[in-house]
Amino acid sequence: MIEQPFTVSISGEAIEDLHRRLLATRWPDTVTSSGWTYGLDLEWMKSITDYWLNQYDWDAQQRMLNQYPHYLATIDGFRIHYLHFRSKRPNAVPLIITHGWPGSFLELLKVAPMLADSASDPFHVVIPSLPGYGFSQRPSSPGMNTLRTAELWVRLMCELGYDRFVAQGGDIGANVSSVMAWKHPESVLALHLNYIPGSYRPWVDEAAPLRPEETAFKDKAQQWYDEKGGYWHVQATQPQTVGFALNDSPVGLAAWLIDKYRDWADCDGVVERRFSRDELLTHVSLYWFTETIASSCRMYLESRRAPLVFGRDEPIAVPCGVLWFAKEEPMPPRAWVERAYNVVRWTEKPVGGHFAAWEEPEAFASDVREFVAPFRNQALREDSTAIMHAEIR
């Protein structure tokens, strides 16, 4: 496959349209002195909207983004946007990292150079945008779920010359990476996760009781979905309905996304402790300019229709490493994960949250390198021809 370079280019007309809509925002009322108890604080939203309108510089962010190696590929008739960081090191191992919602390739930009440029443990890093996210094509027919995405990713890696590779993922990306390892063990050398998919259901012998920590987790997870899972219920049942509002109002979109950055990151409720306003608004602007909020939400409905459910004799044989950051929730205990995953490494970090690579890039990159180290020689033996071919390209 000849890679097709891609340049991020948002028109001046699109930026002007955004500004017009921001100026025309019709603000909701709120309960007096309620702060953040009913959702995002009204005064804070007005402040960041003013920043978006008067100080935020998309053109500067676009120039920054275009310093990275963007490409497009068409696999089975579907256009995929991806970044490809080819290491200059001869012992690099291919690695595909998949993001989730409400994220994008942006949250992985800090770790990709760390992994590709490592002197001792380098990787060829591939970061695709999920179908319906960022600059990837928006699906127009049903069935583009995590299983289908996994098939596209394996094809993409093979087209790039990587017949054997490591898969990493968080959030929806954890689901996609798990399916790749499950369905294509001949391609996936090792699996690294910083999240366990919410739809994950291992086979359980009803005659054998669950361990206490597993029972406690199931109760805690249900409580989490009851208290914080409103977004999931909407996106997994009626994504198109909420899409009408979020695709039309930039402030509404910003509130929907930033609410999750604030709630899921390890920031004690102060999102700007973790992420700058420019970082937050670049994420939101990417969703806005590409008009992908509706299509990204539809992935939840598609995945609900095709959950990650394992039968009695269907475990993932590929070695798996799990990296658990303290604020990630709901996170199952190791016993529950090991019912279907071949867990060979389990690491817990005292700080960090859902957006692992964005929040704690050094810890994330270090754990990936340490996990893959025992498999590195095997990868180089099995895939040396493919790696050399990719480097020549």
Answer left, alpha or beta for residue 354, where phi above 0 means left and psi between -120 and 50 means alpha.
alpha
Catalytic residue, from 300, 341, 367, 383: name it: 300
Catalytic residue, from 171, 259, 263, 367: name it: 171
Catalytic residue, from 84, 354, 367, 383: name it: 354
Identify whether 300 is a catalytic site residue.
Answer: yes
Identify whether 38 is a catalytic site residue.
Answer: no
Identify whether 354 is a catalytic site residue.
Answer: yes
Q: Which of 79, 159, 152, 165 is nearest to 125 (CA)?
A: 165
Q: Cite the active site residues.
A: 171, 300, 354
